[in-house]
A and B are shown apart, each in its own frame.
Chain A
Amino acid sequence: MQVTIIINGETVSHDVEPRTLLVHYIREQAALTGTNIGCDSSSCGACTIHVNGEAAKSCTMLAVQADGQEVTTIEGLADGETLHPMQQAFHECHALQCGYCTPGMVMAAISLLDENPQADEEEIREGLEGNLCRCTGYHNIVKAVLQVGSDQ
């Protein structure tokens, strides 16, 4: 089946099997490997992307569900060499160690502030409940999101 997806602002078309998961489509057909697969079972959030601006787990969507929709991945955030404010804050606050969770964490954090720009620490911790990080202990991630929130 032919799908047409506006991915990071660019309209792309591919032939996919209906059972193709969106995350596999993004990584293998759209060749954007920034989005990671962690648990492959909807729990860890490593595969988080935006569908029409809202965070979603791309391991729990079919590519055909994104047909005609706008998808944003971690690659779509920076403006040339200028990082997105959330990426910049993660960098400044040392909000990553191995970096595996980071693409999904950044996408979830942006969606969270879109919906609740004044989110306080507790709301940020709760809002990121769908994203697991095995390295940082979360403190610096929360700090980064708080920093972006207070800069807005």
Chain B
Amino acid sequence: MIPVAFDYERATSTEQALSLLAEHGDEAKLMAGGHSLLPLMKYRLAAPAVLIDIGRLEELSYVRDEGEELAIGALTRHCEVEQNDLVRSQVGLLAAATSQVGDPQVRHRGTIGGAMAHGDPASDLPAALIALRGSLVIDGPSGRRQVEADSFFTGFLETDLGEDEMLIEVRLPKLPDSTWSFQKFNRRAQDWAIVGSAVVVDQGICGVGLVNMDSRPIRATAVEEAIKNGSSAAEASELAAEGCEPPADINAGMDYRRHLARVLTRRGLEESGR
């Protein structure tokens, strides 16, 4: 399978990437690791006329301690996030979720920014970001802005990113004393989640993000509320599928996905000490 022909541009700075985007408009696509985009292009489900390769922007590959928050550059690869000491000690849930992405080959190439910008409800990382109450830093012609995870994911493969904008950084509040659990149910080791549940508990407050339970990555608000109001893990997890419209496909129907969301969320809460 070979993609439709395109013009290739390799960006050497964030600034240049943004000006290439401005120049080519909706004809262009950014490529980071290419591990979501290239498969789509090979199947010809995507056919950008111009491909802007941002994969070499070293300036956006970092994990930084910024006081209350951790800042992770958009081009930081999964293998770097998963092994990073700051990530492991401050936002352990993200390290755990990242280590579950695909296989080592995928984690050597795919980036945290690509995983967020792709906006796939089946992706593991957006659910972890939602649970951790993280946010995203976006740059574009009208300047930098920061968006909360909940408002970033707007629909199936759709995000708040404008066509001329670029994701720069992922920011996460540091939670060194949190307990957490990433529950992923899949058929084979390297597969995507049929359903996943990302749970973090910090000083009695819990965050729960769900994988593949709606057209976009979502928060299990009812579970979080129930825990806040003193419910047990068993009681709260019963509400995990509330308000969700999960997909139905060859792996699972809607009811089975709802069942999985409840079971996985209960396990996640229990493993997090609730």
Whether the pair B38, A48 counts as a contact (CB closer than 8 A) is no
Whether the pair B5, A17 counts as a contact (CB closer than 8 A) is yes
Whether the pair A130, B34 counts as a contact (CB closer than 8 A) is no
Tell yes or no: B126 within 8 A of A by CB.
no
Whether the pair B104, A130 counts as a contact (CB closer than 8 A) is yes
Per-residue contact bits, chain A 63-95, to B (CB 8 Å; 1 contact, 0 not): 011010000000000000000000000000000
Tell yes or no: B35 within 8 A of A by CB.
yes
Tell yes or no: B114 within 8 A of A by CB.
no
Tell me which residues across on chain B come within 8 A of A131, comparing CB atoms.
Answer: 103
How many angstroms from the CA of A56 to the CA of B104 in the assembled complex?
8
CB distance from A32 to the nearest CB of B (A): 19
Closest to A49 in B: B105
Tell yes or no: B7 within 8 A of A by CB.
yes
Tell yes or no: B55 within 8 A of A by CB.
yes
Whether the pair A108, B42 counts as a contact (CB closer than 8 A) is no
Tell yes or no: B3 within 8 A of A by CB.
yes
Whether the pair B6, A57 counts as a contact (CB closer than 8 A) is no
From A41, A55, A111, B42 is in contact (CB under 8 Å) with A41
Whether the pair A129, B1 counts as a contact (CB closer than 8 A) is no
- B78-107 CB contacts (< 8 Å) to partner A: 79, 102-106
Closest to B99 in A: A126
Residues of A in contact with B, size category: 20 to 34
- A104-146 CB contacts (< 8 Å) to partner B: 108, 111-112, 115, 126-127, 129-131
Per-residue contact bits, chain B 51-63, to A (CB 8 Å; 1 contact, 0 not): 1010100000000
Tell yes or no: B133 within 8 A of A by CB.
no
Chain B: how many interface residues by the 8 Å CB criterion?
28
Closest to A60 in B: B38
How many angstroms from the CA of A64 to the CA of B34 in the assembled complex?
12
Whether the pair A127, B104 counts as a contact (CB closer than 8 A) is yes
From B1, B2, B8, B106, A41 is in contact (CB under 8 Å) with B1
Tell me which residues across on chain B come within 8 A of A41, comparing CB atoms.
Answer: 1, 39, 42
Whether the pair B34, A126 counts as a contact (CB closer than 8 A) is no
Closest to A111 in B: B104
How many angstroms from the CA of A55 to the CA of B38 in the assembled complex?
17
Tell me which residues across on chain B come within 8 A of A43, comparing CB atoms.
Answer: 190
CB distance from B152 to the nearest CB of A (A): 26
Tell yes or no: B189 within 8 A of A by CB.
yes
Tell yes or no: B248 within 8 A of A by CB.
no
Whether the pair A60, B109 counts as a contact (CB closer than 8 A) is yes
17 more contacts with CB within 8 A, not counting A18-B6, A112-B104, are A17-B5, A18-B7, A19-B2, A19-B4, A40-B1, A40-B42, A42-B106, A48-B105, A51-B108, A55-B105, A57-B106, A60-B38, A61-B38, A108-B104, A126-B189, A130-B106, A131-B103
29 A-B contacts (beta carbon < 8 Å) = A1-B8, A17-B5, A18-B7, A19-B6, A21-B2, A40-B1, A41-B39, A45-B105, A54-B79, A55-B104, A56-B109, A57-B105, A57-B109, A60-B34, A60-B39, A60-B109, A61-B34, A62-B34, A62-B38, A64-B8, A64-B10, A65-B34, A108-B104, A115-B104, A129-B103, A129-B104, A129-B189, A130-B102, A130-B103
Residues of B within 8 A of A (CB): 1-8, 10, 34-35, 38-39, 41-42, 51, 53, 55, 79, 102-106, 108-109, 189-190
